[in-house]
Structure 1
Amino acid sequence: MDQRDKLDQARERVIESIAQNMDLYSVTSSVGRLYGTMFFENGPMTLDEMKEKLHMSKTSMSTGVRSLMELQMVEKVWKKGERKDLYKTNDDWYKTFSDFFCIRWRKGIELNQKALNDSIAELREAMEGNDLDDEEKQSVEADLEKMQYAMEYYTWLNKVVDLFESGEIFDIVEKP
């Protein structure tokens, strides 16, 4: 195996690993392969170059690039004299991770807090009525305690997300 083959094999191993883990970002492994391929390029790529390198349709490349741009993992760049659109990976993986997961975490937190608030209100209303026997009241009280614990967790998680959004997380856990 010559040096070029070793380089290709090493790159392919990383590209395949990236492709397999892209489900964290809710994208397909083929889009992950596209990202990995673009990552190892020494400059921006056109859709035609991506198509040639990955042996996929231009439409697939366009769709994949659009998905990666929405995730802010790829950006369109301009080059003097080039008429075709050029794309390159966003080199700040820390920011990409932070942005993506903060959006996901916030959505999850909001959804769960709303469900908890609605349920807590209903359970408190049920406690105010005289329709519950002692066993049911104990059950409602236990549920309210669990829901309060969950609310405390989501308050904490919001603080964690704040650390990522503000960049303060990197004061706690330094980037290499």
Structure 2
Amino acid sequence: MVTPTKIEEARRAYIESLTETMAMYGLSPSMGRLYGTMFFHEDPMTLDEMMDLTGMSKTSMSTGVRALSALKLVHKKWQKGVRKDLYEAEHDQVRSFIEFFCVMWDKEIELNARALSRAEENLNGLLDDPEITPEEVTNIEMDLNRLAKAKLYYTWLRNLVKTFESGEIFDHVPVPEYLDK
């Protein structure tokens, strides 16, 4: 008979890999371990159950679950007769990928769109300064050109997000049948 400890050891390699992968995208190692632990758990879990399995504090659990929920990697579940909040990992890795990256790209677009607008406004305002030199005008115009190209990039990125969210991406990069079930 295979012991639960041996099963956990076998899972550990993938959990650590998920931890490293999430760290590459700016998530904490504890969030990666939490997601990996939940990934292998079939039933929804309470924060107390997660705490027992990971050894993390309840505060860390709560923070991690909120962050993973915001990225749509973890979902809150309801179960009749259970008073505590239950959570489960998204097991569909294609869906996880799409939701994670769309959330991250949307944040990038929103953050940089505001900054681009402010920078453009400030640079255009400088062009009205009566003391501006021809060299400064040239530098400002070059900067405005760079910002215009950056805006085109964010328009492209917005279209990419829409392609993922609509599922149109699968017309170009189909999901293998074994993942589509």
Query: Which piece of structure 1 moves more, 88-97 or 153-162?
Result: 88-97
1:151 Cα deviation after fit: 1.7
Matched residue, 1:40: 40
Change beyond 3 A, Cα 1:7–1:154: same
Question: 1:146 maps to which residue?
Answer: 146
Residue 9 of structure 1 pairs with residue 9 of structure 2:
yes
TM-score, normalised to structure 2, is: 0.75
With normalisation by structure 1, the TM-score equals: 0.77
Provide closer, same or farther for how the CA distance between residues 21 and 127 of structure 1 changes in structure 2, counting only shifts above 3 A.
same
**Residue ranges of structure 2 left out of the alignment (5+ in a row):** 177-181
**Cross-structure match for 1:123:** 123
Of stretches 24-33 and 140-149 in structure 1, the one that deviates more from structure 2 is 24-33
- The CA distance in 1 between the partners of 2:34 and 2:97, in whole Å, is 18
Partner of 1:29: 29
1:132–1:56 CA distance, 2 compared to 1 (3 A): closer
Change (3 A) 1:109 1:63: closer
Q: Which has the larger radius of gyration?
A: 1
Q: Which amino acid aligns with 2:66?
A: R
Q: What runs of 5+ residues in structure 1 fail to find an aligned partner?
A: none
1:75–1:129 Cα change, 3 Å:
closer
Partners of 1:91 and 1:28 in 2: how far apart?
20
Query: Which residue matches 2:111?
Result: 111
Where in structure 2 are the equivalents of 1:68-147 lying within 5 Å? 68-80=68-80, 82=82, 84-127=84-127, 130-147=130-147
Coordinate RMSD, CA, aligned: 3.0
Give the length in aligned residue pairs: 175
- State the alpha-carbon separation in 2 of the partners of residues 113 and 81 from structure 1: 46
Q: Distance in 1 between matches of 2:135 and 2:45?
A: 67
Shift of 1:129: 5.5
